[in-house]
Amino acid sequence: MAKEKDTKKTSGNGHHYDASDISVLEGLEPVRRRPGMYIGTTGIDGLHHLIWEIFDNSRDEAMGGFCTDIEVVLLPNNRIRVADNGRGIPVDIHKKTKVSALETVMTTLHAGGKFGGEGYKVSGGLHGVGASVVNALSIYCKAEVHKDGGKYIQEYSQGKKKSAVKKIGSSKLNGTIITFEPDQEIFKDIKFDWNTVVSHIRQQAYLVKKLKVSIIDAREWNNKKGLDDNDVFYFKDLNLELPSTSFYFEGGLISLIKYYNKFQKSIQDNIFYVEKELDGVVVEIALQYVDDIVDKIIPFANNIYTGEGGTHVTGFKTALTRTLNTYCKKNEMMKDSEGGFTGDDVLEGLTAVISVKLREIQFEGQTKAKLGSMEAQGAVGTVFGEAFTSFLEENPDNAKAIINKSILALKARKAAKAAKDSVLRKGALEGMTLPGKLADCQSKSAEESELFLVEGDSAGGSAKQGRDRRTQAILPLKGKILNVERARIDKMLASKEIRSLVIALGTSIGDTFDLEKMRYHKIIIATDADVDGAHIRTLLLTLFYRYFRQVVDAGYIYIAQPPLYKIKKGKEISYAYSDEEKTKLIGKETDVSEIQTVEETDVEGPELVEGLEEEVKTKSNKIHIQRYKGLGEMNPEELWETTMDPAHRILKKVNIEDAEEADKIFEILMGSEVPPRKSFIQSNAKLAEIDI
């Protein structure tokens, strides 16, 4: 029988992409009813997820070799514009829907080039799933397609088309431009964060070699000339002087490893790298060990960051532990009495980027935070295991450094376990006696209990007297606690102050940590409003971030905001938490030249300096101002009224919006390398609020 002639149009590289490559599964209404099922949340993360969905479609074109340039623009009125020079979404009539494939992609859930045909071999998102979800959650959306010599547009609102797809002119270009404005009915707080957008897209640029990505912040752009974005393909072609950045990386994952480790001291000269396809799974891994005690594993599946890990991470960790144990045993580098490496031993100081690409990909959850495809585990384990074994054999100096690093971690793990067991065993023998200086609360309900970590015995004494004994516990901390950024548990638990805090929390620490045993659901850091207080606060935040991360993620850490001034007008007493608030409370009628200042008490040593006191004469009144320099200056009543009373106090909740950035900042500020910290201080000196 004669073969039927293929009459489909082809792209420049001979690959057809038309309406037959778009498959349809169901409609759009469920997205607006339950947006969280599709973008995770309608909060700030979900808002930014809209950008990722559209960007992923353009990136998938680049992964397929059809796109080299992507542009993301933050426009006025909460609009986002994403343009790519890919093949352009098909605009011909879809056989099943009887309308343009562009309309099908934009208005139908589960319609895209990944469900059927040969549109994509590998993709991160499901082309059309992302576009249709974003469209459904936008009050305004426009798709502009340049394809086969024509220029086509269609506009939508809340997922519904405003008109049919229209050809508005000719074009010599190929590509797609999506512009959308999130719907305020869905997103109550629409505010895109520049740093979040740049950080995410930078990461993506590392993952796709030779892809240029540009980001432009045009939110403050005053379009006086009445320019229409229909008149230009790339916004950058308008040559406007706007904040922008762009990325282009030849080195891929190796470049990304260098970026993550630029503030670290490497113990491994050669960065390990492998890229190989096995059983339909493309495995790409780069890693390097540094002189640190924490690890960074950054996993991706079809270029989607899988923050919760998954099968590819499991395969990698298993192969890493097995390979290093085998090499160590083969070369007799460890005593039999030391046993073998555990997974934690070989991870210490490791920075690794794991990227897998699969034709049929399965995630656990709609937001794709965890890979579920089982074939990835075997492929990663085999490819990485074989390549890393060869790397160790071919680079004996690097291998020796890595093995010695892991042996040190093994010994430290055993020492830390002994120290931790000793602390916990001692507590058990004493009936889990709480620290003597802890003034515990009466309530046994963690949900309503609060623990104040107070700087100094003086402030601790006032806090103990002024607190609500039923729900508020006080733990005074003497001096500055140990900087735990590079300290293991054994050294950390040797610190009396930290040991007291660990026992007070009740969660234990390390591999026996249990959030369910947390004794307080509010940990409130209360330090003085000076440089020493800020340092103590930073040391405590470092401790919680490195060893009690789950407590931070649960939202249990707060920072108290004590007032800076006590202002007395006659019998009326007010408190000001900033200089601006003080000025407002004093009033415009104040004659500033009449200020009388009481000199500071001349003290030495660690004692708190007395606050400044001022008397300000006005036309109608005399105002007495006291400047607090420390919590210890407040009597119990003042401390309760300003800092501890839930009805009047101001607390700042500690959140980690960007764990990667937080990790980097802690490394810079609290690590042992001086040059990065010096550079950071010099770059940010003008932002510091210094009380001289």
Catalytic center residues: 455, 528, 530, 532
Amino acid at 391: F
3-state secondary structure string across 150-161: EEEEEEEECCEE
Which strands make up the sheet holding 304-305, listed edge to edge? 272-278, 281-289, 350-358, 296-301, 304-305
Q: What is the dihedral of CA 657, 647, 613, 686, to 10 degrees?
A: 10
**Helix, strand or coil, per DSSP, at residue 610:** coil
Q: What is the CA radius of gyration of the chain?
A: 30
Q: What does each C-alpha distance from 502 to 106, 451, 511, 534 come to in angstroms?
A: 53, 12, 14, 21
Cα 333 to Cα 314: distance, rounded to the nearest angstrom? 26
Amino acid at 510: G
Please count the residues of the chain: 692
Cα 216 to Cα 236: distance, rounded to the nearest angstrom? 8
Cα 181 to Cα 201: distance, rounded to the nearest angstrom? 19
Provide the H-helix boundaries in 41-186.
Answer: 44-63, 101-107, 129-136
Q: What's phi and psi for 416, nearest 5 deg?
A: -65, -40
Q: What does each C-alpha distance from 179 to 141, 154, 270 come to in angstroms?
A: 6, 11, 44
Amino acid at 359: R
Residue environment code for 623-654, b if the CB has 16+ CB neighbours within 10 A, otherwise e: bebbbbbbbbbbeeebbbbbbbeeeebebeeb
- Cβ contacts of 313 within 8 Å, gap of 6 or more: 297, 299, 306, 354, 371
**Helix, strand or coil, per DSSP, at residue 462:** helix
Cα 351 to Cα 290: distance, rounded to the nearest angstrom? 8
Residue environment code for 201-224, b if the CB has 16+ CB neighbours within 10 A, otherwise e: bbbbbbbbeebbbbbbbbbebeee
Listed residue (39, 134, 129) closest to 367, CA to CA: 39
Amino acid at 677: R
Cα 260 to Cα 269: distance, rounded to the nearest angstrom? 15
Cα 204 to Cα 214: distance, rounded to the nearest angstrom? 12
Cα 267 to Cα 99: distance, rounded to the nearest angstrom? 60
**Helix, strand or coil, per DSSP, at residue 175:** strand
